[in-house]
């Protein structure tokens, strides 16, 4: 970590981000919202209440997938254990290194963002448990970001009277192609759910006729239930035709295995059953409750920034686009605030949330947040005042930015001076998409370790 004691701005950025993480801790959110009073199990949200009479059910089955699923399961375990004689248990699948000490809910670790065989096995086991759920079973589904990759269930389809089964390698190739082309999470999930036996609400068809409630932590911009974890417990309004159009629009058909491309083509022509649409019987006994969002993290960041004495300008929790283009936009805002206090008076903290993308042009190492910080640093380099008075942090709330061990990175005048002293080129690193090694060399990476939560990214800009 940078020498925070030598740079008050970087220390402030870290404190603001940590306050946001504390607000969106899934363990705390569930413990705050779920209540067990005798046989009455309830979940209280700002705009909705859900409850169930446990005396009507012979058992409670807890299933889940996502980077936060183990942390969520820990809270649910503590609540259910207060009811003597209740039969309960279950299985969740989380990312490697994201487990929690659990008593009766089993955990499986699997690969993310590219799925692996452990995820396939976990998906098969969860599907088997779902099929065994009866009308007197209450199912609590714990869903968070990363669920799409962590629970891969390649579908089977019929082509000219012949059964074709997709494999993990097919799904991995599709995921890699989508990640590399710059597709956003909504587009990625649209394609993945139409190649899955569970996603896009197909999981609910296995659960029926059981009653189910899903506690959901959103990692997608706009918090659409049909996009989070590829809408595993939600109706799906997207179609095979749209999935095929995404593949064709990005020109990645040649990078997708023929069997997967054929499934999309057949589906678009009506030759493969669609995912459950509004009104599907499988949705009748299912409830979806959104318990954590990027908006909540943004509000907590704003609150902490005000406590530190900053004038705060929350801009949006729906930020999307190319990471380096967003960085150019934010650097311009910073220069305007510094020069004329446009938007907000100094000392200022501009807060944004969302999820950007990176279109790969090099073979370096990094993630969207590190790339944004690097591009911001490049803008500071072009600034006539060398970025004076500005500091920036872009980081993922799950603690993992791309395939790295960093959540994101800092950009500041001090970081720029370190880069120059080390003979590093921002332009060369951007060309190679090698933000990780650039920031590693100047001690500019922001590392939290696994946070066991996931509500997209936060971008914090300070102007003194």
Calculate the average pLDDT of the chain.
95
DSSP symbol at 74:
H
Tally the residues of the chain.
464
CA distances 393 to 26, 155, 381, 410, Å, are: 23, 40, 16, 5
* Number of separate domains in the chain: 2
**What does the pLDDT read at residue 186?**
85
Model confidence over 9-19: pLDDT tens digits? 999 999 999 99
Q: Are residues 323 and 213 in the same domain?
A: no
Query: How confident is residue 47, by pLDDT bands cut at 50, 70 and 90?
Result: confident
Residue percentage of the chain with pLDDT more than 90: 91
pLDDT (mean) for 37-50: 94
Query: How confident is residue 5, by pLDDT bands cut at 50, 70 and 90?
Result: low
Is residue 450 within 8 Å of 9, Cβ to Cβ?
A: no
| Whole-number Å distance between alpha carbons of 222 and 231 | 14
Domain presence at residue 378: yes
Q: Are residues 217 and 335 in the same domain?
A: no
Domain containing residue 210: CATH number: 3.40.50.10180
Whether the pLDDT of residue 4 is over 70: the answer is: no
Q: Are residues 402 and 366 in the same domain?
A: yes
**Pairing mode of beta strands 348-354, 457-463:** antiparallel
| Whole-number Å distance between alpha carbons of 235 and 31 | 27
| Whole-number Å distance between alpha carbons of 268 and 271 | 7
pLDDT (mean) for 36-48: 94
Distance of CA 117 to the CA centre of its chain: 21
| Whole-number Å distance between alpha carbons of 371 and 401 | 10
**Beta strand ranges found along 367-444 (DSSP E):** 390-396, 408-412
Q: Are residues 14 and 97 in the same domain?
A: no
Model confidence over 357-371: pLDDT tens digits? 999 999 999 999 999
Whether the pLDDT of residue 6 is over 80: the answer is: no
Whether the pLDDT of residue 67 is over 90: the answer is: yes
Neighbours of 413 (CB within 10 A): 19
| Whole-number Å distance between alpha carbons of 389 and 54 | 58
pLDDT (mean) for 281-307: 96
Its pTM stands at 0.87
Phi first, then psi, for residue 427 (nearest 5°) are -65, -45
Q: Are residues 200 and 232 in the same domain?
A: yes
Q: Are residues 306 and 207 in the same domain?
A: no
Q: Are residues 68 and 203 in the same domain?
A: yes
Query: How confident is residue 255, by pLDDT bands cut at 50, 70 and 90?
Result: very high
Q: Are residues 287 and 350 in the same domain?
A: no
Model confidence over 401-433: pLDDT tens digits? 999 999 999 999 999 999 999 999 999 999 999
Domain containing residue 383: CATH number: 3.40.1480.10
For residue 370, give its domain range. 4-18+295-463
**What does the pLDDT read at residue 179?**
86
Find the helix or strand (DSSP H, E) in which 183 lies: none
Whether the pLDDT of residue 2 is over 60: the answer is: no
Q: Are residues 228 and 301 in the same domain?
A: no
Whether the pLDDT of residue 193 is over 60: the answer is: yes
């Amino acid at each position: 970590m940078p020498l925070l004691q030598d740079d008050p701005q970087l220390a402030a950025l870290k404190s603001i981000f940590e306050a946001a993480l504390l607000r969106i801790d899934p363990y705390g959110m569930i413990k705050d919202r779920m209540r067990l009073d005798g046989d009455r199990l309830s979940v209280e949200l700002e705009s909705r209440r859900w409850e169930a009479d446990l005396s009507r059910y012979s058992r409670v089955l807890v299933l889940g997938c996502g980077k936060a699923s183990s942390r969520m399961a820990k809270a649910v375990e503590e609540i259910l254990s207060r009811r003597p004689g209740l039969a309960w248990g279950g299985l969740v699948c989380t990312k490697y290194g994201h487990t929690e000490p659990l008593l009766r809910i089993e955990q499986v670790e699997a690969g993310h963002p590219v799925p692996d065989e452990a995820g396939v096995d976990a998906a098969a086991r969860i599907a088997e448990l779902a099929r065994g759920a009866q009308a007197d079973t209450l199912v609590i589904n714990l869903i968070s970001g990363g669920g799409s990759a962590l629970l891969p269930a390649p579908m089977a389809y019929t082509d000219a009277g012949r059964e074709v089964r997709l494999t993990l390698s097919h799904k991995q190739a599709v995921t890699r192609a989508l990640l590399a082309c710059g597709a956003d999470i909504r587009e990625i999930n649209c394609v993945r759910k139409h190649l899955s036996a569970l996603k896009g609400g197909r999981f609910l068809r296995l659960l029926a006729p059981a009653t189910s409630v899903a506690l959901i932590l959103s990692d997608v911009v706009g918090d659409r239930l049909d996009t989070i974890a590829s809408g595993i417990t939600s109706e799906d309004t997207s179609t095979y035709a749209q999935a095929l159009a995404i593949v064709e629009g990005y020109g990645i058909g040649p990078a997708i295995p023929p069997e997967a491309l054929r499934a999309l083509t057949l589906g678009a022509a009506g030759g493969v059953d669609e995912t459950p649409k509004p009104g599907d019987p499988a949705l009748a006994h299912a409830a979806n409750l959104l318990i954590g969002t990027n908006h909540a993290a943004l509000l907590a960041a704003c609150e902490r920034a005000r406590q530190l004495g900053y004038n705060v300008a929350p801009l949006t929790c729906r930020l999307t686009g190319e990471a380096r283009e967003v960085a150019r936009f934010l650097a311009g805002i910073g220069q305007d605030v510094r020069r004329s206090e446009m938007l907000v008076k100094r000392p200022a903290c501009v807060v944004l949330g969302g999820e950007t993308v990176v279109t790969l042009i090099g073979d370096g190492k990094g993630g969207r947040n590190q790339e944004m910080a690097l591009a911001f640093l490049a803008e500071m380099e072009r600034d006539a005042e060398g970025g004076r008075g500005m500091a920036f942090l872009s980081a993922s709330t799950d603690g993992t930015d791309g395939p790295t061990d960093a959540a994101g990175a800092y950009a500041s005048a001090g970081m720029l001076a370190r880069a120059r002293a080390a003979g590093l080129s921002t332009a060369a690193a951007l060309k190679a998409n090698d933000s990780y090694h650039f920031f590693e060399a100047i001690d500019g990476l922001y590392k939290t370790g696994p946070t066991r939560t996931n509500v997209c990214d936060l971008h914090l800009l300070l102007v003194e």
